[in-house]
Amino acid sequence: MSENVMAAIRSDEPPPGADRPGGDAPPWSAARPWPRTSRPRRWGGVVRTARLSLAEQPWLGDHLVLGAVLLPATALLDLAAGGAREAGCDRLDAVVFERPVPVPEWGALQLRVAVGAEDAEGRRAVTVSSRRESAGPDAPWTRHAAGRASRGGDARAAGLGGGPPPGAVPVDPGAHRVRLAALGLVHGPAFHGLRAAWAAEGEAWAEVSLPDGIEAQGFGVHPALLDAALHAVGAGGLLADEGRARVPCAASGVRVWRPGARALRVRLARVGADAVSLVAVDGADRPVVEVGALVLRPLSAAALAADRAASGPAPHRVDWQALPPPWPGPGGCDVVARRDARRRGGDVLAGALWALGLVRAWLADGERGEGRLAVVTRGGVALPGESPDPAQAAVWGLVRAAQSEHPGRLVLVDADPDEDLGAALASGEPQLAVRGGRLLVPRLVRAERVAEVPRTGPVFGPGTVLVTGAGGALGRLVARHLVAAHGVTDLLLVGRRGVPGDVVAALAGRGATVRAALCDVGERAALRALLADRPLTGVVHCAGAPESGGAVASLAPERLARALRPTALAAARLHELTRGMDLSAFVLFSSPAGILGGRGAAPHAAAGAALDALAERRRALGLPAVSIAWRPPGAGEGALPLACHEGLALMDAALTAPDAVTVPLRLDPGALRARAVEGALPALFHGLVRVPTAVSPRRVRGVPTDGPRAETPLPPAARDGGARRDQAAAPPPRRDGARADRRRRWPLR
């Protein structure tokens, strides 16, 4: 089918210079998105241009393919059909979508629709091309669609009658959108027009309508409306998808009877292995649009491979980005609890236990319903040039895990005591830092890979390297890697339960001097005795928690303490007792949960955040340190497991990277896109995954801004932790501007 369509296309570009509108061509109407009828050029054709940008057509941002905003193929179809109508043709005989149209994040594209002169058979060539507006008037055009148009006569499609046939099975449009997102097609609210769908033998039926605020006037068929109708192909199982999303690549027999429809009833029928026909009618059963054959092909294997490569193993870091005003509102939190700034530099365990008691009491208070709690720290996170407090960071780690388990119930803010928190609490962001009245939000970004720099000596120095947790899987893996890849010849291996003899023997067989010791590095006296006569040149802290994670609401304080002792508390002891040594490396293996959060990961998250903060603090003191947020298998929120060799390779890169904290990740693009289309993508990932324009972080609601609420005391456990009540001030009213005006249409000239 598609080969026949493509064979019908012949290139018939306009003569040189015909792409520039001249004096005899009226400008495109600002009230219409496509060309209005005008006198053909002297060469017998018609050429019109339009301007396309996300600022002026924000609904386009709701159409993402493999993470990129692309002009829908249905828009190319409407452009081609509209150009044909202007030239007096009422039928688009055939059109091939040759290449996608990426919509730039900034700036604009020029679109050109060119309709050629009639040939001997009365047909006209139609092309749709684009170029960047910034490229200038002499830049070449890139062709995206090519087809043929003609006068098709007065034959009209019949109506659809009573609707789906008996036995048609209803399908769930929402579930299909989520599935499409996992396959690489993310549709925001502008493309959520599929209201109902049914599957029948060889057919699919649908009811579609445009969301409020999006105008249909001026289009033949609005691209978002027609795109939504095509979702019924997959939802109804009309074509085999083979685990890949299908996208339009060609069409034939296209006729638009009634332009500007807002709602359609649609029947799609299979007419080939990869093609369907489409008939759509309005509420009065009058034909609106007919497509004889629309070819839909699975996304190419090359495109999918490129998508997988883009999400391969890579180092990531947290980037604190300014949140520009105006901030959405009004909003606030029912209670604001501060971790007393006087406790800065306190014990990591004390900070984590304070957060645990506070959050558990808040979640257990049934009178709060869906109320919001803001947890405020000072020094819980480090912006460039700052030194964090590991005890405050442990609060962030634990609350991040709680946020994953209870979305929308908790907000994290790091600020000095005199900062105004009103705008932060009304911003809708789950995690913020306030500095000098500026709001900053954490976003995960890919870390820059640093070119290999010739070293004058080994990273770990010529002396003894201490490896903690050497009896565990990670410790054994790292010890072997130090000897094999880094040339370490003197190892001190310690573990709470000792180190297996076969591990020692294997390393010794590689030529290393290996000493093994039974030691709890969380115990200061035992660690001091171990290091008394063993000066070190490197430390690698691999010790992990003895137990798995647990949900915050049911996490016992004793269990949290057992998780922190061999990890964060032991690292603090190592920092304290090695400060007088000439270390060339101080490596901490933390947990991605400390940054990403995660359900059931509260102990690991608290420990991981404290370890990351310790690495930042050592860097601020001029001491070597790097924290690597990875433990096999290394999966987490929105991530896939890393193979051991991949994790070790990223560890090697982190040793010479400028960042004190590295998060090795293999992102799961399908899972992230699915969460984005559901509006549930964590804000931390918004720097890595494009979010449809109308999907934003969950709004923080609570205290009304038109007056104070009656005072409601916190539970005793929260009061004992130093919580206090605070009223969230309302931010200025939002001025959405053009980007939020979803009614804007194509400005034409």
Under a CB-based contact definition with an 8 Å cutoff, are residues 403 and 551 in contact? no
Classify burial at 553, counting beta carbons within 10 Å of its beta carbon; exposed 0-12, middle 13-18, buried 19 or more: middle
Domain encompassing residue 697:
319-446+673-724
On whether residue 452 sits in a domain, the answer given is no
Under a CB-based contact definition with an 8 Å cutoff, are residues 440 and 321 in contact? yes
Task: Please give the DSSP secondary-structure letter assigned to residue 635.
Answer: -
On whether residue 738 sits in a domain, the answer given is no
Residues 3 and 133 in one domain: yes
Under a CB-based contact definition with an 8 Å cutoff, are residues 723 and 335 in contact? yes
Question: Catalytic residues, which ones?
Answer: 63, 227
The CATH number of residue 475's host domain is: 3.40.50.720
CA–CA distance from 440 to each of 325, 431, 687 (Å)? 11, 9, 13
- Which among 360, 328, 354, 337 has a CA at the least distance from the CA of 726? 337
On whether residue 650 sits in a domain, the answer given is yes
Q: How confident is the model at residue 22 (pLDDT cuts 50, 70, 90)?
A: very low
Two tokens, residue 668: 């799961």
Instruction: Kindly tell me if the per-residue pLDDT of 267 is higher than 70.
Output: yes
Q: Is pLDDT larger for residue 729 or for residue 394?
A: 394
Residues 211 and 304 in one domain: yes
Other Cβ atoms within 10 Å of 696 Cβ, number:
15
Instruction: Kindly tell me if the per-residue pLDDT of 713 is higher than 50.
Output: no
Q: Residue 103 in 3-state DSSP?
A: coil
Q: How confident is the model at residue 358 (pLDDT cuts 50, 70, 90)?
A: very high
CA dihedral over 314, 320, 326, 330, signed as positive or negative: positive
Instruction: Kindly tell me if the per-residue pLDDT of 455 is higher than 60.
Output: no
Mean pLDDT of the chain: 81
Other Cβ atoms within 10 Å of 333 Cβ, number:
28
Residues 409 and 494 in one domain: no
Residues 147 and 233 in one domain: yes
Per-residue model confidence (pLDDT) at position 305:
58
The CATH number of residue 20's host domain is: 3.10.129.110
Per-residue model confidence (pLDDT) at position 115:
94
Residues 70 and 168 in one domain: yes
- Cα-Cα end-to-end distance for the chain: 37
404-432: average pLDDT: 92
On whether residue 38 sits in a domain, the answer given is yes
Residues 59 and 187 in one domain: yes
Residues 301 and 328 in one domain: no
On whether residue 304 sits in a domain, the answer given is yes
Instruction: Kindly tell me if the per-residue pLDDT of 38 is higher than 70.
Output: no
The residue among 310, 328, 349 that closes a domain is 310
User: At 117, phi and psi to the nearest 5?
Assistant: -70, 160
Q: What is the pLDDT of residues 601-656, one digit of tens each?
A: 999 999 999 999 999 999 999 999 999 999 876 556 677 888 898 899 999 999 98
Residues 328 and 304 in one domain: no
Two tokens, residue 219: 């289009």
Per-residue model confidence (pLDDT) at position 447:
87
Under a CB-based contact definition with an 8 Å cutoff, are residues 168 and 199 in contact? yes
Classify burial at 36, counting beta carbons within 10 Å of its beta carbon; exposed 0-12, middle 13-18, buried 19 or more: middle
Q: How confident is the model at residue 678 (pLDDT cuts 50, 70, 90)?
A: confident
The residue among 286, 310, 334 that closes a domain is 310
Cβ within 8 Å of residue 451, ≥6 positions away: none
C-alpha–C-alpha distance, residues 24 and 12, integer Å = 22
Radius of gyration of the chain (CA): 31
On whether residue 744 sits in a domain, the answer given is no
Q: What is the pLDDT of residues 466-480, one digit of tens each?
A: 999 999 999 999 999
Q: How confident is the model at residue 216 (pLDDT cuts 50, 70, 90)?
A: confident
Q: Is pLDDT larger for residue 456 or for residue 222?
A: 222
- Which among 347, 93, 61, 65 has a CA at the least distance from the CA of 181? 65
Under a CB-based contact definition with an 8 Å cutoff, are residues 291 and 280 in contact? no
- Please give the torsion angle defined by the CA atoms of residues 157, 161, 165 and 166, in that order, rounded to the nearest 10 degrees: -170
On whether residue 749 sits in a domain, the answer given is no
pTM, 2 dp: 0.66
Residues 245 and 330 in one domain: no
3-class secondary structure per residue, 336-389: EEECCHHHCCCCHHHHHHHHHHHHHHHHHCHHHCCCCEEEEECCCCCCCCCCCC
Q: Which is it for strands 194-200 and 246-256: parallel, antiparallel or unpaired? A: unpaired
Residues 592 and 690 in one domain: no
Residues 440 and 551 in one domain: no
- Please give the torsion angle defined by the CA atoms of residues 355, 361, 366 and 368, in that order, rounded to the nearest 10 degrees: -50
Kindly state the percentage of the chain with pLDDT values over 90: 50
Per-residue model confidence (pLDDT) at position 692:
65
Task: Please give the DSSP secondary-structure letter assigned to residue 134.
Answer: G
Kindly state the percentage of the chain with pLDDT values over 70: 78
CA dihedral over 112, 21, 29, 692, signed as positive or negative: positive
Two tokens, residue 214: 């999006």
Q: Is pLDDT larger for residue 318 or for residue 5?
A: 318
Residues 156 and 201 in one domain: yes
On whether residue 743 sits in a domain, the answer given is no
Domain count, the chain: 3
The CATH number of residue 712's host domain is: 3.40.50.11460
Q: How confident is the model at residue 276 (pLDDT cuts 50, 70, 90)?
A: very high
